[in-house]
Chains A and B, each alone.
Chain A
Amino acid sequence: MSILVIGIGNQFRSDDAVGLEIADSLSTCELEEVTIQRSSGEGIALINLWEDFDHVILIDAVNSDREVGAIHQIDLSKDKLESDLFQTSSHLFALPEAVKLAKTLHKLPKTMQVYGIEGENFDYGTELSPEVEHAKIELIELLKADINNIKTYTS
């Protein structure tokens, strides 16, 4: 059993940094048997990161028509990842493409959960919007529970 958590984002693009900030917070929690990584979201690097793990959790900012701070949860064993959700990346080959390519090459882990926080401001800056900050704290607790669940059902 191996668990990887990847926070994705750009720390200088306001709400886009939320995935990285969550990864940083989880790094200080000393979670056993959990590896935490930060990523800019470049797709091939993501596949390289997750290919040796059984259980992967990804966290990124998203941009859809839901209210700011809304938490999206996508279980890739059941749900499809809509490319439109992750338009915040400037990468040509980002998370949605990485998931599709990994699926084709049988490089998806046993389980993969994608969490997104609806952002509002993706301009240059280093502050999160208040709603995103609030959602960040909520998601950190959700993730700790999620990680414990993975440990329980795999042990």
Chain B
Amino acid sequence: MNKSKTKIINVDYLARVEGEGSLYLKIKDDKVQDIKFKIFEPPRFFEAFLRERHFSEVPDITARICGICPVAYQMGAVHAIENALGASLDNNLRELRRLIYCGEWIESHVLHVYMLHAPDFLGYQDAIQLAKDHPEVVNEGLRLKKIGNEIVTLLGGREIHPINVKVGGFYKLPTKKDFNSLLENLKWARTAAHSMIKLTSTLTYPDFEQDYEFVALRHPDEYPFNEGRIVSNKGLDIDVADFEKHFEEEQVEHSTSLHCKLKERGKYKVGPLARYALNFDKFSSEVQKAAKDAGLKEECYNPFKSIIIRSVETLHAVNEAIRIIENYVEPKKPYIEINPKESVGYGCTEAPRGICYHRYNLDSNGLVTNANIVPPTSQNQKSIESDLRELIPLIINLSDEEITWKCEQAIRNYDPCISCSCHFLKVSIDRE
């Protein structure tokens, strides 16, 4: 009789992900018994901090949730509050909101592709080792990321935790002249983004496709940043205000981050693969061609290929930034006046990692009475665990070290921002 064999793999600290997380795997007789993608980043209670704060303070507080994607939190917050107070921005201000988001997508995607994810595919431990053999690749990444930072700095006042975004618009507007050197840099970035797509298209990918429910924003006229309906490839098509009717967060013992699921169908996936599949037709013909030349179809179900899609989205963000700057007309006023009233508002934007939902309840003085923020990494946790459950049987014969690396790579497919996702913890106390 065969002896049953149990193997436990514990990765105490996941490398090359933002924040603190770990992975626990229990394998018995070559079958996965248990998987836990553990998040132990301390809970951050942001929704509680926001209570009793005036709505004008919310963008600056929420920008503190993340150092990598602060614009996503600011945009979700200002759009939700403007929704609550019935404010509608003119097109020029709206374009600037899209432009600052282009900056964040460029810097976040480039950091992930070049510094965190590419080393996996090229067999290097990290970007430092990669730089020894391919300095030109890493130098290109550094220069591209800097251009993303420049956009955020110009519109946000500083590159980390920007402070220039205001409910109703911006505190201060750039002049047309301020964009001159940036425009030159963006023209270089366009060529660099094409080579980024080419580079990622030549990497070797495992044959691993999953039947995901993709969830993303969809806008009638544009690839989504700040606006749209929440849609999925399995029939969901809802207004942002109905998010909490269709999605719910639950606490699991092994994570300080809540797991979000669709009430009807459970796990789903947000982020580049979802946006791409649900909005391919909104790319320009140049971006569509670059994606097809890279071997992608109009939908992609292989999470490892997210690195190509991030590169395609980088090209889109660069082109969109060029378009907005070339057509920029300085708005007459940097912001519109907004008066408080008792209200509730909803916002959902496309953070680099996927949709980020916000709800704010305001009283008649404009103070926040309740807030709910659902970041993308909370939404992807079930999908991450499901990917691992499907992947491990395919790699079960590798050494523990190789299994660990492959699993880490599979988690990095999601570019998880763990520190963002931990801002709430439900504490239960049993007393006897």
Is A63 an interface residue when CB atoms closer than 8 A count as contact?
no
Determine how close the nearest CB of chain A comes to the CB of B244; give it in whole angstroms.
28
Determine how close the nearest CB of chain A comes to the CB of B40; give it in whole angstroms.
12
Is B104 an interface residue when CB atoms closer than 8 A count as contact?
no
Candidates A45, A92, A101; contact of B15 at CB < 8 Å: A92
- Give 18 new A-B contacts, CB below 8 A, not counting A47-B142, A48-B146, A90-B419: A40-B161, A42-B67, A42-B68, A44-B115, A45-B160, A48-B142, A90-B18, A90-B19, A92-B18, A93-B111, A93-B127, A97-B126, A104-B128, A104-B132, A104-B135, A105-B131, A105-B139, A105-B142
Is A14 an interface residue when CB atoms closer than 8 A count as contact?
no
**Residues of A contacting B64 with CB < 8 Å?**
12
How many chain B residues touch A (CB < 8 A): the figure is: 29
Most buried by B among A42, A90, A92, A105: A92
Closest to B141 in A: A44
Candidates A44, A90, A100; contact of B20 at CB < 8 Å: A90
Closest to B14 in A: A92
Cβ contacts B106-139/A at 8 Å (1 or 0 each): 0000010001100000000011100110010011
Candidates B15, B20, B138; contact of A105 at CB < 8 Å: B138
Is A91 an interface residue when CB atoms closer than 8 A count as contact?
yes
**What's the Cα separation between A100 and B130 when bound, in Å?**
12
**What's the Cα separation between A95 and B424 when bound, in Å?**
29
Closest to A48 in B: B146
Q: Count the A-B residue pairs with Cβ separation under 8 angstroms: how many?
A: 55
Is B95 an interface residue when CB atoms closer than 8 A count as contact?
no
B interface, over-half SS: helix
**Residues of A contacting B68 with CB < 8 Å?**
42
A48 lies within 8 A of B149 (CB): yes
**What's the Cα separation between A91 and B15 when bound, in Å?**
10
**Residues of B contacting A39 with CB < 8 Å?**
160
B145 lies within 8 A of A44 (CB): yes
Candidates B16, B18, B111; contact of A44 at CB < 8 Å: B111
Is B350 an interface residue when CB atoms closer than 8 A count as contact?
no
A101 lies within 8 A of B149 (CB): no
Given contacts A42-B160, A44-B145, A93-B115, contact A101 B419 (CB under 8 A): no
**Residues of B contacting A100 with CB < 8 Å?**
128
Closest to B126 in A: A97
CB contact list, B58-73 vs A, under 8 A: 64, 67-68
Cβ contacts A8-22/B at 8 Å (1 or 0 each): 000010000000000
Is B385 an interface residue when CB atoms closer than 8 A count as contact?
no
B138 lies within 8 A of A40 (CB): no
Closest to B158 in A: A38
Closest to A42 in B: B67
B116 lies within 8 A of A45 (CB): no
**Residues of B contacting A42 with CB < 8 Å?**
67-68, 160
CB contact list, A50-93 vs B, under 8 A: 90-93
**What's the Cα separation between A140 and B161 when bound, in Å?**
26
Most buried by A among B15, B146, B419: B146
The 7 A-B residue pairs with the shortest CB-CB distance, nearest first, are: A104-B131, A48-B146, A40-B67, A40-B160, A100-B128, A101-B128, A105-B135
What are 19 pairs between A and B in contact, CB < 8 Å?
A: A40-B161, A42-B160, A44-B111, A44-B145, A45-B149, A45-B159, A48-B146, A90-B18, A90-B19, A90-B419, A91-B18, A93-B115, A93-B116, A97-B126, A101-B128, A101-B131, A101-B138, A104-B132, A104-B135
Most buried by A among B67, B145, B149: B67
CB contact list, B124-176 vs A, under 8 A: 126-128, 131-132, 135, 138-139, 142, 145-146, 149, 159-161
